[in-house]
């Protein structure tokens, strides 16, 4: 029986080792699987809420899996990102493409579309729909149906007080002005919000209102919100000006004799506050029961200007998490000039001001690059740099004729390969579909083999034992 035991142990070890020795693929930024965090239900007990908070904290920080990348903090949000505003480099990534409800950070996009299509002294007319469409208890500044204020006053109410009726009125008025149709002005504005978002690369979002009120079809991601915020921050200084105003007053109007005063609700702007951060230059808060706490925060320190976005943060952790993420960004990364480090002979001219953002353990030569040519001149365009599938910066560049020739040859070879692939596509698809089945059959077969071997060994041993007994009787 000792020999039988050894045989079983050997076979078991063979199968275990086969499993252990299977190659584990490297985790790249582009391979991270997004998690949809939208929920239609709220926790009913404190225990359930605590469990949700714990799960959010334990979620994978995808950027922590990138080779030689600084380890970022765990947070209580179900999605988070830190992006360098000027280069678009992603420094921290936690479920950055997972869909979530944005709540009032929607108003960042509302502000962007408004500023791109109207002037600050344009008149915003408040309709009955704007006033009556706001549920009880949601933020507002007491605007009345039929009241008129400037776009400037409206945007201060939108960004500082998170006024929902002001957000609706902005969309309706600006949309009417541009489209020339009062009945469909609001719908035009919504369509423009979605169009503009897609143009900026925010391809995983959908917006059905201008204020962020809960709707199953109203969602975004932290990457998308960072891209939208980036455009507003870099090209519209009004965003910083409004954000840094701690108190604002809408003067009396024809329908309201008393001035209305409100404050900035983003707590990181206030000195003496536990959450005060002198580097913060702009931002927007958000909250609904299903969205939980959401926050956009822009900060500048040294040579970096960062955008931090967090979605569905549990408990009272929205500001501590944001502080940690900003500290992580400012403390671990630096600009690396592209022109000074690009040694490839393929690139003849590079914008001297362009840079990538990298941690000290990642070298410029470790980056991958992809050239996107201009439509009019194939030798000129943008060179995009990535690390582990993650964007870290780009530069306007001019490439050599040798590069273009090589690229054309590779493209031609690729097309030939595509033709061959098309011919065998059905077979390949069939094989791919059969793969999981084959694996299951192999595993089941291996288990059956072990059982058969064990049974065979036991049967042989039992037979020998019976033969011995027969010999004794004879």
Query: Could you tell me where the beta strands, DSSP code E, fall in 64-165?
Result: 77-84, 90-94, 123-125, 148-150
DSSP H or E stretch at residue 132 = helix 128-132
pLDDT digits (tens, 9 = 90+) for 26-38: 456 666 799 999 9
DSSP H or E stretch at residue 280 = strand 280-288
pLDDT digits (tens, 9 = 90+) for 306-357: 999 999 999 999 999 999 999 999 999 999 999 999 988 888 888 889 999 9
Q: Can you give the pLDDT at residue 345?
A: 80
**Three-class SS state of 100:** strand
Q: Is pLDDT of 289 > 70?
A: yes
Q: Is pLDDT of 227 > 90?
A: yes
Structure-block tokens of residue 309: 């976005």
* 317/329 Cα distance (integer angstroms): 18
Q: Is pLDDT of 147 > 70?
A: yes
pLDDT confidence bin for 161, thresholds 50/70/90: very high
Structure-block tokens of residue 287: 């909250």
Cβ neighbours of residue 369 under 8 Å, at least 6 residues apart? 383, 384, 385, 386
pLDDT digits (tens, 9 = 90+) for 55-82: 999 999 999 999 999 999 999 999 999 9
Torsion angle, CA of 452/457/461/463, rounded to 10 degrees?
A: 40
- pLDDT (average), residues 410-430: 63
Lowest mean pLDDT among 40-54, 165-179, 433-447: 433-447
Q: Can you give the pLDDT at residue 21?
A: 33
Percent of the chain with pLDDT over 70: 81
* 246/266 Cα distance (integer angstroms): 9
Q: Is pLDDT of 51 > 70?
A: yes
Q: Can you give the pLDDT at residue 55?
A: 96
- pLDDT (average), residues 171-178: 97
- pLDDT (average), residues 134-138: 92
- Candidates 1.10.1040.10, 3.40.640.10, 3.30.565.10, 3.40.710.10; correct CATH number of 77-332? 3.40.710.10
Percent of the chain with pLDDT over 90: 70
Q: Can you give the pLDDT at residue 466?
A: 62
Q: Can you give the pLDDT at residue 31?
A: 67
* 93/89 Cα distance (integer angstroms): 11
Domain ranges of the chain: 77-332, 335-413
Structure-block tokens of residue 250: 């809408």
């Amino acid at each position: 029986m000792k020999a039988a035991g050894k045989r079983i142990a050997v076979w078991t070890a063979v199968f275990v080792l086969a499993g252990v020795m299977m190659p584990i693929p490297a985790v790249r930024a582009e391979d991270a699987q997004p998690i949809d965090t939208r929920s239609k239900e709220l926790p009913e007990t404190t225990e359930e809420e605590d469990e949700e908070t714990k799960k959010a904290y334990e979620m994978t920080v995808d950027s922590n899996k990138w080779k030689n990348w600084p380890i970022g903090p765990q947070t209580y949000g179900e999605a988070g990102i830190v992006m360098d505003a000027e280069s678009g480099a992603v420094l921290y990534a936690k479920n950055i493409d997972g869909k979530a409800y944005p709540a009032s950070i929607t108003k960042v996009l509302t502000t962007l579309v408004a500023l791109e299509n109207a002037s600050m002294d344009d008149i915003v007319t408040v309709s009955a729909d704007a006033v009556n469409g706001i549920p009880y208890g949601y933020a507002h500044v007491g605007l009345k149906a039929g009241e008129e204020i400037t776009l400037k006053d409206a945007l201060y109410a939108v960004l500082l007080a998170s006024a929902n009726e002001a957000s609706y009125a902005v969309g309706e008025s600006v949309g009417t002005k541009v489209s020339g149709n009062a009945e469909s002005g609001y719908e035009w504005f919504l369509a423009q919000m979605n169009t503009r978002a897609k143009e900026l690369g925010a391809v995983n979002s959908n917006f059905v209102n201008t204020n962020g009120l809960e709707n199953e079809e109203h969602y975004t991601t932290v990457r998308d919100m960072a891209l939208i915020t980036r455009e507003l921050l870099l090209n519209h200084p009004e965003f910083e000006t409004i954000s840094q105003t701690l108190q604002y007053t809408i003067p009396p109007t024809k329908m309201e004799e008393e001035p209305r005063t409100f404050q900035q609700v983003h707590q990181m702007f206030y000195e003496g506050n536990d959450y005060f951060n002198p580097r913060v230059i702009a931002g927007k808060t958000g909250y609904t029961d299903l969205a939980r706490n959401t926050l956009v925060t822009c900060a500048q320190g040294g040579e970096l200007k960062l955008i931090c976005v967090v979605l569905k943060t549990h408990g009272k952790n929205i500001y501590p998490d944001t502080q940690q993420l900003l500290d992580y960004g400012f403390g671990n990364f630096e600009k690396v000039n592209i022109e000074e480090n690009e040694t490839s002979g393929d690139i003849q001219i590079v914008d001297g001001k362009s840079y990538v953002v990298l941690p000290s353990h990642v070298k410029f030569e470790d980056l991958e690059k992809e050239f996107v040519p201009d439509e009019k001149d194939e030798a000129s365009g943008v060179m995009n740099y990535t690390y582990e599938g993650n964007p870290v910066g780009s530069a306007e560049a001019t490439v050599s004729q040798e590069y273009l020739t090589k690229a054309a040859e590779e493209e031609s070879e690729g097309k030939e390969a595509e033709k061959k692939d098309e011919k065998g596509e059905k077979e390949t698809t069939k094989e791919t579909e059969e793969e999981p089945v084959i694996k299951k059959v192999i595993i089941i077969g291996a288990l059956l083999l072990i059982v058969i071997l064990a049974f065979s060994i036991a049967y042989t041993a039992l037979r020998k034992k019976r033969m011995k007994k027969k010999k004794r009787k004879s």
